[in-house]
Amino acid sequence: MLKLAPQSDSFWLDVLPGVRIRFRPITVASMLVAREAVGKVFRDEDQDDVDARANIALVRELTRRGIVEWEGIGDADEQPIPVTREAVDLLMENWPAYDAIDNLYVAPALARDAEKNASSNSASGTSAEAPNTATPAA
């Protein structure tokens, strides 16, 4: 069943020890922009790891568009830095941060999207089991 509800407000995720990031929900516009970034990878890349690069493009673009603010992220002198495109790109070069954001922010949204596209048995109960046509082995 497709569950319709208004978009919720932004939310905080504890990404790494001492690092919290506030994200906005992934919207249709965000997903379309991210899909375009993925398409660009497939059009421009001619490498063996194009699937990995496409995944990186998807996660990076959704993250760029999703981060509202953060705590616990700073420069080399441990001074807090603001959320900018360049700072988000640097964050996404950090494997533990990338992996956590992929698992905590992007993957759940993609799983919700997959739920909407799944088929299930008819609510009226007309999905009857087909008769067994195989003959038993002797």
d(CA 86, CA 92): 10
Please tell me the distance from the alpha carbon of residue 1 to that of residue 96, in angstroms, as a whole number.
35
- List of domains in the chain: 11-116 (3.30.2220)
How many angstroms separate the CA atoms of 36 and 16, rounded? Answer: 29
CA dist., res. 91 & res. 85, Å (int): 10
Mean pLDDT of 73-101: 96
Kindly report, residue by residue over 16-58, the tens digit of the pLDDT: 999 999 999 999 999 999 999 999 988 886 777 888 999 999 9
Residue 23 CB neighbours (<10 A): 23
Question: What type of residue sits at position 26?
Answer: I
Total-model pTM? 0.76
CA angle 117-33-65, nearest 5°?
105
